[in-house]
Amino acid sequence: MSGQQTLQELDRIVGTTNELLLSPEVKMMDVGGGVIRPTNAMVMTNLATLLGGAMPYASVELGLAATADGTNFSVLSSAQDEYVKVYRNQAGAAEYVDSYPNAEATRSADILARTALSQTPPRSLDDEMPWAVVDENYRAILAVKKSGAVHALLDTLPGLDLLGDYAWAVVDSQGVVLLGIKWSGEVVTFGQSTGAVAAYADGPVGGQDIWVLVDGVPYQVTSSGDNFSPQVSSGRLSYIRRGSSVASVTVDVPIPGSVAPFVQTLLHILGYGQSLAMGDTSVVQTTQPPTANRLLTIQSGVMLTDQETTLTDAMVVPFKPLVSVVREVPVVQLSGQLNRLRGVPANAGVLTSAHGRNGRTIAQLSKGSLYYSNLLTAVASSKAEATRLGLAYRVPFVDWIQGEADRNMAQATYLAALLQLQSDLDTDIRAASGQSEPVPMLLDQISNFTNYGLVSSFVPLAQLQAALDYPDRFACAGPKYWVPSNTDGTHLTGDSYTRIGCMHMRAAEALIRGGRWLPTHAISAVRTGAVVVVRFHTPSGPLTVDTGNVTDPGNWGIRYVDDTSSASVTTVRLLGDNLIEVTLSAEPTGSNPYIGIADAGVAGQPLGPTTGARACLRDNSPDRDGQGRPVYNWACHQRIAVQSA
């Protein structure tokens, strides 16, 4: 039967059925043994037969028996990624037609497609141009041909209408000019100076700041409002400032060693902890000051070369521009990210220093230790120098990265030690700084416990618990499994340390402003029969399944546990609205049930997004690090009790 004939036949069937069901007149029907008035049930049965068995049958034999010659019928499929198989009744024999996937297969394909698309570089439709910046129709605006030649439409480059002082420009997603030509003819390349002093605008459109490069070192001139069109002439900097009105502003070019004139308060960010807080095994990444006159460090450098040295006042002052020394400690790019994304109050500068020791337990870093004393010396000396400079001073939080040395500790024991340490730091820092504001601790979770031969550890659970139970004293930035480890499987690369610092930024911003912050984590798990629905909190945007950046360890890193192992996870799926549906192998009967999220891994495996204990769940934070890479908030290592509906 042709497609046109099939449509005509379907139209006839629908018309006949409507006439029988809806006509106000009594209609009669020949049933083979006489003509009778049909019931609604008889009409629908006849319709199902005419449509070739639209309802699926349990077997091919039942489908053949219930359908007429030449009509189609469907049979429920036993394949995991199929719903039904369609057959045609050909003279009593089943002829296979097609199969149809189930919803889970469709969703999985959609997730894989979206992940692949997000990782795909821009391409044009022209095979001769393997890389291109394209317009909405995928036509090349700026491209590199296979021969190496550059193809460019210079009158339609992206960013043309974003910045008034550029004739054309290539910009990133934040509107920052990467390559441009000003109307004056000056060529601007991001990060490169065209002379001893060069000015540029940086930041999102509508909220840009003015910067100058003095001998290749960046200095910040503005910290609020919308500023653009900077020009330098004879040691003076001019730019346009837009607010309720538009005005031209002219100031002196910043000089080396100066503090930005808008800085009235100095916020001291203190890094503390064991080896990962101190950038162990890494190579320095931040060799240029992110902002020479706003981001500062102490005289001896952000960390001591010898961590067993006693810090003195002379090693603290005078302050100098922040760069990394010895190794890449996470607090350096934490401070850089705060400034990049305007996470610092407009009138504040940031002083950054790290005080800790590799391989030390929480007890060995507590009050009375050399490292604790060095931290307090840094606070007292920095407070005195800030006062001398006419600046207010406070410590908004202590950035704490530790736990590996205590990896076998009980959850309650580690939590109690954290509570005591925070209480001591709060009391002693307030006394040394003279501030009235409390001093919370900003934590993250250890994620490398499998590299020590463990399947799981209670320490990361205690680190999350501290933030959930005591939100006025702790904030948890999240886990570290999403970044690659160094070759030893325990520590991080220099680049990974910078990314962890950037991950801490949003929690740090909240604490600086006196607020609270929670990471991506489960907030409830409710069971109905053999199905558990887990609801998540995310800091930014909806919960997303990402198996591209973090490979799937099985069921996205989710497991079910109870005292008798009465059930296990068979499937997981994203329901939307930050909900994950977990289907179990049977309705569980054991006591103390919980859902584990990235809480267990393979003993002996190194930390990392393809090896360690991990989950494929994250938020959709729009943040980017200093290299333009996404900084998402990944699901915490967690165990959450299951409640019955």
Give the pLDDT confidence score for residue 303 in this predicted structure. 97
More confident: 163 or 300: 300
Give the pLDDT confidence score for residue 535 in this predicted structure. 98
**CB within 8 Å of 130: residues ≥ 6 apart:** 123, 144, 146
Per-residue pLDDT band for 175 (boundaries 50, 70, 90) equals: low
Annotated domain spans of the chain: 3-103, 157-252, 265-512, 521-644
Q: Which residue has the tokens 């060095």?
A: 374
Is 265 in a helix, a strand, or coil?
Answer: strand
pLDDT digits (tens, 9 = 90+) for 24-61: 555 555 544 455 555 554 544 454 444 444 568 888 88
Give the pLDDT confidence score for residue 534 in this predicted structure. 98
Per-residue pLDDT band for 1 (boundaries 50, 70, 90) equals: very low
Q: What single-letter amino acid sits at 591? A: S
| Percent of the chain whose pLDDT exceeds 70 | 81
Task: Tell me how far apart the alpha carbons of residues 215 and 616 are, in angstroms, rounded to a whole number.
Answer: 44
H/E segment holding residue 440: none
Give the pLDDT confidence score for residue 70 in this predicted structure. 86
Average pLDDT over residues 456-470: 98
Give the pLDDT confidence score for residue 22 in this predicted structure. 53
Task: Tell me how far apart the alpha carbons of residues 471 and 442 are, in angstroms, rounded to a whole number.
Answer: 10
When mean pLDDT is compared across 77-81, 119-123, 302-306, 424-428, the lowest value belongs to: 119-123
pLDDT digits (tens, 9 = 90+) for 521-533: 999 999 999 999 9
What angle, rounded to 10 degrees, do the helices at 494-503 and 330-340 form? 50
Residue 530: how many CB atoms within 10 A of its CB? Answer: 15
Residue 376 pLDDT greater than 90, yes or no: yes
Angle value at C-alpha 174, between 224 and 253, nearest 5 degrees:
45
Q: Is 197 left (phi over 0), alpha (psi -120 to 50) or beta?
A: beta
Per-residue pLDDT band for 142 (boundaries 50, 70, 90) equals: confident
Is 254 in a helix, a strand, or coil?
Answer: coil
Task: Tell me how far apart the alpha carbons of residues 239 and 251 are, in angstroms, rounded to a whole number.
Answer: 9
pLDDT digits (tens, 9 = 90+) for 533-558: 999 999 999 999 999 999 999 999 99
Average pLDDT over residues 157-178: 56
Task: Tell me how far apart the alpha carbons of residues 191 and 179 are, in angstroms, rounded to a whole number.
Answer: 10
Average pLDDT over residues 381-387: 98
Dihedral angle computed from the Cα positions of residues 489, 494, 500 and 504, in that order, rounded to the nearest 10 degrees: 140
Residue 495: how many CB atoms within 10 A of its CB? Answer: 18
Residue 132 pLDDT greater than 70, yes or no: yes
| Percent of the chain whose pLDDT exceeds 90 | 67
Task: Tell me how far apart the alpha carbons of residues 465 and 390 are, in angstroms, rounded to a whole number.
Answer: 40
pLDDT digits (tens, 9 = 90+) for 113-129: 776 666 655 555 666 77
Give the pLDDT confidence score for residue 112 in this predicted structure. 72
Is 463 in a helix, a strand, or coil?
Answer: helix
Give the pLDDT confidence score for residue 40 in this predicted structure. 52
Terminal C-alpha separation, the chain: 52
Average pLDDT, the chain: 87
CA gyration radius, the chain: 32
Least Cα distance to 320 among 342, 351, 297 occurs for: 297
- Asked if residue 486 lies in contact with residue 601, where contact means CB atoms within 8 angstroms, the answer is no
Average pLDDT over residues 386-395: 98
- Asked if residue 133 lies in contact with residue 151, where contact means CB atoms within 8 angstroms, the answer is no
pLDDT digits (tens, 9 = 90+) for 595-612: 999 999 999 999 999 999
pLDDT digits (tens, 9 = 90+) for 231-265: 998 889 999 999 888 999 999 999 998 999 999 99
Give the pLDDT confidence score for residue 32 in this predicted structure. 44
Q: DSSP E strands: which ranges in 153-196?
A: 166-171, 177-182, 187-189
Give the pLDDT confidence score for residue 203 in this predicted structure. 86
Least Cα distance to 447 among 631, 272, 618, 276 occurs for: 276
Q: What single-letter amino acid sits at 97? A: V
Superfamily of the domain at 265-512: SGNH hydrolase (3.40.50.1110)
pLDDT digits (tens, 9 = 90+) for 308-364: 999 999 999 999 999 999 999 999 999 999 999 999 999 999 999 999 999 999 999
- Asked if residue 216 lies in contact with residue 249, where contact means CB atoms within 8 angstroms, the answer is no
DSSP β-ladder status, 544-545 and 531-537: unpaired
